[in-house]
Chain A
């Protein structure tokens, strides 16, 4: 009885929500120009405008990413992937990076995949290369970076080039430190279920939706933080703090870590800093953010041992910083 009542109440919430959105759709203009809406403080409206614009701009790219990722999940078996996994020590780094470039997944999707691949026998350093390279070296990220920086292609090339080189460097360091030690946390998570009852395409749709929600929540938090930053913090303060190349690079790496943007959308945010920050620091933001940030640190800690995660963070941070400084000397 109680169960039934609760179910009915839940259904009411769902239907109410649906009609609320439908109402919003039909009376969008009326609601927005109504009395209560005009009471909202200006700075919150500005925050909402920037927050929503980041979210709406990022959604198509996020959807594209999770859809392709879902396709791989449904149609490419892990046995196939394992067969294609490069073998060996340092010599595996280059093919691993090239393979990672074919993996069109963003940083949120790659962590569970890499964890599973490592568990099924993929060498740790190859997994690390995937973890670092895949979120940046993929066509969707290239596309969004290209759209955001088409007037300054040097930044697009720097992002891709640095990601390629750094992935191999970081992979090599990890191989040196850990070899093939088990760094995974022991978890009692069940193995993959076979969806025999439903078609692969339905399954792909479900995966797309699930991954959209899994990843979207971090995007929403990131967009909100970025929006607040833009609405409430004057850029003058930041450029005062980071007027030197090295200090602005550190600052932008810290900022990238905190805002945790999806690699498919961060280029648009980075473009908005274009005129206030040095190009080196913009590249740092674009390279470091997809490799490491608040949200994927949390995910890493859930899957890997603490010691590994901290060493990984240290190696990535130092390599990116040195990489950016060298790149600036050579190319900018």
Chain B
């Protein structure tokens, strides 16, 4: 096949990506892939694809001096089969992008990624003094593994090896900003309130704060929405109400959840969206304190327009 043909194919692929991005932006479905604060880059990409596509469309093979791409990877111009495979590679994401239904990340992915039950920050703190009497768990080891596999394995290892060096807490992804101060402020803002209402906007902040300053939240009423996440390791009267937090794109989404206990919870299936109202208390998971909600009411709700939660502006701008 001649060179001009490949010039056109490339042009069409560039247009294809521009169309895909515009289509996703226009329909709002881009939110399944990209976090809002990265959108400016997506606009830039869509515009660039259009410009490159137009320029490429009017490119003439004579201008290229035959097959030469001057200084580029010449291997791609080797065999027609290779070329076919390469362009197929570019067309595949276009076709799946246009046809595959969008799906919110769900409990199947959550299980692969692991769910954090006391915020992302608190799970990195040394476990507080164990309060075994409040433990709800009848399979503590499995729960511990479910909650934080790395920590569990680490502790298991320490038990086996007996005298390990001090716990490698400093080696975990501990953020550099002053987390104590920020989340302390969040906690004290609920000091005089009897109800903690968790919205999409404050989701990450409040859950992190609750993990760190749990005692300040105990006894308060809480209202939280999320999808039901369950593992065979949880008991019948428990599930986790969880949401995916996305910082840049869905590849980096992590799962924040809160343990819920009560009667009649088994009628709610995994991935069903619920509104949970209850009272905050604490329980122990492998020696670490985590919040647990004792249910007053659970109601099925429609899945929200924006299923993901994002780091709040207050958190990013501090």
Contact = CB atoms under 8 A, between A and B. Distances in A.
Interface of A: 6-7, 10-11, 14, 17-18, 21-22, 24-25, 28-29, 31-33, 37-38, 40, 42-46, 48-57, 59-61, 63-64, 67, 73, 108, 112-113, 116, 147-148, 150-154, 189-190, 192-193, 195, 197-198, 202, 205-214, 216-217, 220-221, 226-227, 230-236, 239-240, 243, 245, 268-269, 271-272, 274-280, 282, 299, 302, 328, 332
A226 B76 contact: no
A235 B113 contact: yes
B97 interface: yes
A268 B248 contact: yes
B253 to A, nearest CB: 7
B11 to A, nearest CB: 8
Contacts of A280: 171
Given A73-B71, A189-B74, A240 B153 contact: yes
Contacts of A211: 72
Interface in B78-107: 86, 89-94, 96-103, 105-106
A162 to B, nearest CB: 16
B134 to A, nearest CB: 26
Nearest to A40: B100
A24 B19 contact: yes
Interface of B is mostly: helix
B27 A271 contact: no
A102 B12 CA distance: 33
Contacts of A197: 62-63
A25 B22 contact: yes
A56 B89 contact: no
Contacts of A64: 44
A195 B65 CA distance: 8
A95 B266 CA distance: 66
Interface in B14-52: 14-17, 19-24, 26-27, 29-30, 32-34, 38, 41-42, 44-45, 48-49, 51-52
A231 B112 contact: yes
A42 B103 contact: yes
B233 interface: no
A9 B10 CA distance: 17
Contacts of A53: 32-34, 249-251
Nearest to B311: A151
Contacts of B250: 49-50, 53
A71 to B, nearest CB: 13
B52 A208 contact: yes
Interface stretch (B173-181, B189-197, B279-287, B289-297): B173-181
A21 B12 contact: yes
B213 interface: no
A112 B20 contact: no
Given A46-B103, A46-B109, A48-B96, A148 B248 contact: yes
